Amino acid sequence: MGKKMTDIKEVKEVENETVNACAIARDLENFGLLIEDLENKLGASWGGLDFNNAEDILRSSHADTLKFITIALDKSDEDDLSVVDSIIKASKERGIKIILVTHDLSTVSLHQLMRLGADDFVPYPIPENALSDAIDRVLTVPEEKVIIKEVFIQSESAAAPAVKKVRQGVLLPVYGLAGGVGATTFSTNLAWEMQTILEPQGKTVCIMDFDFQFGSVATYLDVAKNEAAFELISEVGNADAESFKQVVSKYKDKLAVLPSPQDAVPLEFISAEDVKHIIDLARSCYDVVIIDVPRTLVSWSEVLLNECELYLCLIGLEMRSAQNTQRFLRALKAEDLPFEKAQFILNRAPKMTDLSGKSRLKSMTESLNIELRWQLSDGGKQVAATGDHGVPLAEMAAKNPLRKDIVKIAETFAQLCQDEQLSAAAE
């Protein structure tokens, strides 16, 4: 492997070769595939550092030749990321590119490090050619974009028009891993709670139903399925932000809703490019966009995964959810899709006193090797009743335990939106 840089004097050269890269980890020997890939890509022109001396070396003149660094992290490093924060900041000050190599790191921690300035990341174990591709991406100098501006001749008294910042809303798809796990109930109530929280800040939320065959978002929020919305989806290439705003329905004149078509249509009746265009339109009009996703994986499912900040996956404590979760993760990894974005949420979680349920839950998460980001209480009969009446839980059952859990999640996302943390990741 590249020479281990335990002494500042050793950083400048490795076997008479300039050091162009550096691998940093608490214990680099735990990341054998990273060592192998760096050797294949760079030969001997790289070295290794641990967390204790990395910042000092990066801030010294001996790091002048470094083009990029890799920071290898696993779940045990999540307890204290302050050292990694300092390493990233030191690298950014020197203009050194940063690639994260993460093993079982939570999405929240990954977003935190990406916001600090990391340029790219690859999962560990590293898929074939993934590290090489990431290195090429971060080291490629982007082509200069030529921006053509219209020039308006104004009188001396005319004021220059203000430059309006293009909105880039946060995208949160909600995906049910099995029928009846409560994905639509969760998505509609999450959208309403976020709209309620964000409204005083002048921010807006939109929920879109992408289950074009049997979507029930419109039913749960008692809004009409209009033909104009279907026509927009059918001919999305001709749509713009203004026409998008005109066709969405409104719940309580606050929450924007794009319902599914009135008649069942094939899920593939629109292309991946059309879905991307719809998402872009929605994000340009609203600060938060929530999508109720069909269970069937289709050609445009990849678009949602690549475009979203987090992919919220609802599961139940049952064999169907366990098997489907396993298939889902296997499909994402096979297609090299960002499976780290998947945030698993357990609905109808066992109560504190349900020791048998707790034991089953532990076995399920360990066998699937997943982490449950949130657990939702069983809302009971009130959940079905509010759905039948076409209102959120907040309107009919404000004290329902499920509603309280959803409010906590909505507050978490609203805080991230307020701090522009998720928005920064989107941009």
Question: Under 8 Å CB-to-CB from 243, ≥6 apart: which residues?
Answer: 232
CB distance 339 to 307 below 8 Å: no
Residues of the chain with CATH 3.40.50.300: 170-426
Does residue 407 carry a pLDDT above 80?
yes
Phi-psi region of 336 (alpha: psi -120 to 50; beta: other; left: phi over 0): left
pLDDT tens-digit map of 197-213: 999 999 999 999 999 88
What was the pLDDT predicted at 265? Answer: 82
Does residue 427 carry a pLDDT above 60?
no
CA 391 – CA 191 distance, rounded (Å) = 12
Q: What's CA 395's distance to the chain center, in Å? A: 30
pLDDT (average), residues 137-155? 46
Does residue 235 carry a pLDDT above 70?
yes
Burial class of 61 by CB neighbour count within 10 A (0 to 12, 13 to 18, 19+): exposed
Could you tell me which of 267, 187, 281 has the C-alpha nearest to residue 232?
A: 281
Dihedral sign computed on CA atoms, order 71, 132, 4, 18: negative
pLDDT (average), residues 96-121? 85
What pLDDT band is residue 141 in, cutting at 50, 70 and 90? low
Does residue 1 carry a pLDDT above 80?
no
* Homologous superfamily of domain range 170-426: P-loop containing nucleotide triphosphate hydrolases (3.40.50.300)
Is the whole-model pTM more than 0.85? no
pLDDT (average), residues 348-364? 91
Does residue 229 carry a pLDDT above 80?
no
What was the pLDDT predicted at 173? Answer: 96
What was the pLDDT predicted at 387? Answer: 92
Does residue 160 carry a pLDDT above 90?
no
What was the pLDDT predicted at 19? Answer: 84
CB distance 41 to 67 below 8 Å: no
pLDDT (average), residues 156-162? 41
pLDDT (average), residues 274-288? 93
What was the pLDDT predicted at 227? Answer: 79
What was the pLDDT predicted at 418? Answer: 64
CA–CA distances in Å: residue 327 to residues 177, 320, 355: 10, 11, 28
If you average pLDDT over every residue of the chain, what do you get?
84
Would you identify the CATH topology of the domain 3-139?
Rossmann fold (3.40.50)
- In the chain, what percentage of residues exceed pLDDT 70? 87
Dihedral sign computed on CA atoms, order 217, 223, 225, 230: negative
What was the pLDDT predicted at 10? Answer: 44
| Dihedral angle computed from the Cα positions of residues 390, 394, 399 and 403, in that order, rounded to the nearest 10 degrees | 90
What was the pLDDT predicted at 152? Answer: 26
Least confident interval from 24-28, 62-66, 97-101, 229-233 = 229-233
What pLDDT band is residue 426 in, cutting at 50, 70 and 90? very low
Residues of the chain with CATH 3.40.50.2300: 3-139
Does residue 3 carry a pLDDT above 80?
no
pLDDT (average), residues 153-178? 64
What pLDDT band is residue 303 in, cutting at 50, 70 and 90? very high
What was the pLDDT predicted at 392? Answer: 96
pLDDT tens-digit map of 174-189: 999 999 999 999 999 9
Does residue 6 carry a pLDDT above 80?
no
What pLDDT band is residue 243 in, cutting at 50, 70 and 90? confident
CA 217 – CA 220 distance, rounded (Å) = 5
CB distance 374 to 405 below 8 Å: yes
Residue 241: half-sphere exposure toward Cβ, Cα within 13 Å: 11
What pLDDT band is residue 262 in, cutting at 50, 70 and 90? confident
